[in-house]
Structure 1
């Protein structure tokens, strides 16, 4: 086999071994045992127990587990662990009992008293971390807010789980994607805050989130003034973290990177990149300038898992936002679609009733769109519709609501308005469109007026639009007006027809 990780594994089992993932709990078991074990594995080609395959994969990837023999068998599976003069043999039944049972059997049968005591001590220290990791992971994956996701991540890094961190800062790329800028941070701003934090017991995740949100973010405010650049120095901590595959621990009198130096970290500090499929989303920096406890080297694994989860949750939020955007917007123009427009019309009705204000509905049709499609192709027609969408967005006020309803039909809900303003808006849109070489027809209606219900706005505006098109197009008819308004190119005098 070409991959050294699978050397010694029969080719008949190799495909199945490649297909399995090693559970985090199994990997952690052998890391926390910290005792070198040898293993011999016999497994059938068909229906090999998942644990046997996972052990084969784990033994080939540099863990404390060393593969000394692997064979196929036509009978039941057999796994033999060897430690010094002791061994432990497991059959199909024991392999089906799961990872916790495997750990107990190894401790009871293979480890001496000192080795077992050391393993128990490491598990006792890691158990709270594993529970915290489960809670933090669940919270990050369930949150619907990117700001809350960042808060949970930083709380996890400074959660008092003997990781050695009291401060954590997050730097993300700016809108241009070129510079890393300070975005979020958690931690004491001075020694007095640090002393109060150390004297306070961990309240749990939700109370801690509330506590962070209610506290003046002095350290975060400082972090937000910092922009991070990577220097040409090969010792630059940010450059090294961007090139590494996991968190890095540094021990230096002063950081090489100027932005890190501005944070004034202690001698020991951690820097890690947040990645999703090899794309860097940001950088985190963690330290404890006010404590004497060293950073636990095993904290890197914990932080690495947190960062991987945060990256996945961030991607989920982005995808959810994209789906929500697609559900509310017209794909071609980026304007609201009809369903979202009608929903916002209902909201505006409630607001107008409450404030006693007036609103208006303007419907615009693109004249002669079919001619453009036939003469120049549908791509040209789509570009024309997109240009009308840009025109409407740039001409209307920010609080007016603009949508593409269907095909060549657009709608504008003009809020907090009156009859004169509606006429001016219709005239300006129609005039600017002519200046682009586009003819529009428009129909409109205002509400409330003459005790009309808002439900009749559409029918009134549609009737007015039909009158405008029948009258020759390139004009607007506002319900209640005696004469239509003919659109003229920019610079010409407005004319009434």
Structure 2
């Protein structure tokens, strides 16, 4: 038998340890024990037990384990854990029993009564938090709504897990990225609401969210009136949190930051930045003005993980939203594309039929776009199409539906309308376009009228558009009108409708 290596960690064990994953349960075991243990590993160069390698890797990444020796050359593996004058030796059979058996042996062999009691207390406190963290993480990653994501985050912070928080407020950067503004909040606005909320702590996430939703959102409404500025004071809590790598706990009679002071927190409160790719995207403030329990310092790890998950879920939602936007919109003009327009038109026709109202489909073509492309280039043609898109969107009402169908063709669905209103809209669009130097042809039809088939609306509007273009362009033909409408620029005499 060869002599075992004793200087440093043998390369064979280093390579084997790097190839294994350390389970969350094993990592949590030594984190929550909070008792320093020395580790010695002796194992064959190949085929070392997985648990021995996991302990070796865990010790090399910083934990309550401290590696004091690692050897190869032994015929059978052996792991020795040392605490003070006590030691625990694990052979092949013991290493095969798994993590629960390891935890039991450590408690029985290495720890005194006080250390066991402390470990049990930490596990009792952390176990519900870990279960809640898994539930909250799953809920945040599965939600399809930014608003719901924020609600889940705030409920997680006030979830009754002995974190010490009954209120949580979220501040996010505005569109310019310059100011932090109050976005949402959860928590009681007074002692009475705090007493009502206390009885909800035992409920599950969904039940508690539903119950609190029935409360008057006075605290949230107040938070939404607050804009946060960072002062030049180096003790400014918001400034400190934006520069820190994790959540910060403060103990002060009054916050330095005026916006935080407006919340009137108790002496102890937490401030944490939400980061995405190391860039802060918001701030969370959490406290409990109505309870005597202090904030648990260990809550910072829980809060940090929760905020990281919220940031990741937020990025995923924005990516999905971006993809969906691209799928529903025309890339050049930003208007709806044909597929989205037809879907919304079908919904609006069903609504009009149900409510007994009318809608109108208007089709617009840009006259002589080809000549613009040939004489001034396609960039000029694209800019022309974009200007028509802006004209349509700014002229129509916010609930009317505007789309670019293809090429030089645009469509508008005017909702809750009548024949006179449609004629006025078409005349205004045609006149404003001429004022920009753009000639349009238009065709339109209202629904329901004499026909009751939804599919007829598009064919009638197309037929009217063709008639307008054949009549000389720069005009509109609307089903039901006595004669074509010839567009006139603003200030000119209107042609008869």
TM-score of the superposed pair, with normalisation by structure 1: 0.88
Instruction: Show structure 1 runs of 5+ residues with no match.
Output: 1-7
- Match of 1:454, SS state, is coil
Offset of residue 122 of structure 1: 1.5
For 1:39-438, list aligned pairs within 5 A. Answer: 39-40=39-40, 55-69=55-69, 80-84=80-84, 85-89=86-90, 99-198=99-198, 202-438=202-438
| Partners of 1:366 and 1:267 in 2: CA distance | 66
CA gap of 1:459–1:236, structure 2 versus 1, over 3 A, is same
Query: What does the per-residue CA deviation read over 1:362-393, in whole Å, with 9 as the maximum and x for residues that have no partner?
Result: 11112222333334443333222211111110
Q: Please give the secondary structure, in 1, of the residue aligned with 2:412.
A: strand
Q: Pick closer, same or farther for the CA change 1:104–1:356 going to 2, 3 Å.
A: same
Which secondary structure does the structure 2 equivalent of 1:266 belong to?
coil
In structure 2, C-alpha distance between the alignment counterparts of 1:427 and 1:372, rounded to whole Å? 24
1:443 maps to what in 2? 443
Equivalent pair of 1:464/1:478 in contact (CA under 8 Å): yes
Following superposition, the deviation at residue 40 of structure 1 comes to 4.2
Conserved? CA contact 2:41–2:70, under 8 Å: yes
Specify whether residues 446 and 37 from structure 1 end up closer, same or farther in structure 2 by C-alpha distance, changes over 3 A only.
same
Distance change in 2, residues 1:313/1:368 (3 Å): same
Q: 3-state SS of the aligned residue for 1:171? A: strand
Match of 1:319, SS?
A: helix
Q: Deviations over 1:412-442 (max 9, x none)?
A: 1122222232222222222222222222221
After superposition, the CA RMSD in angstroms is: 3.2
**What whole-Å deviation, never above 9, does each CA across 1:223-247 have from its counterpart, x for those lacking one?**
2222211111111111111111111
SS at match of 1:404: strand
- The Cα shift of 1:316 comes to 2.5
Question: How many Å separate the matches in 1 of 2:247 and 2:63?
Answer: 19
Q: Are 1:29 and 2:29 matched, yes or no? A: yes
Structure 2: runs of 5+ lacking an equivalent: 1-7
Provide the C-alpha distance between the structure 1 equivalents of 2:330 and 2:94, rounded to a whole number of angstroms: 58
Whether the 8 Å contact between 1:88 and 1:110 is mirrored in structure 2 is no
Cα 1:303–1:44 change in 2 (3 A) is: farther
1:123 is displaced (CA, Å) by 0.9
Number of residue-to-residue matches in the alignment: 490
Q: 1:85-121 CA deviation, whole Å, 9 max, x = no partner?
A: 4144465x87676654543444345434443332222
Matched-pair contact (CA < 8 Å) for 1:443–1:465: yes
Name the CA distance, whole Å, in 1 between partners of 2:388 and 2:15.
57
Alignment partner, residue 3 of structure 1:
none
Partner of 2:162: helix, strand, or coil? Answer: coil
Maintained 8 Å contact 1:158/1:167? yes
What is the match of residue 474 of structure 1?
Answer: 474
Q: Which region of structure 1 is more displaced relative to structure 2, 345-354 or 481-490? A: 481-490
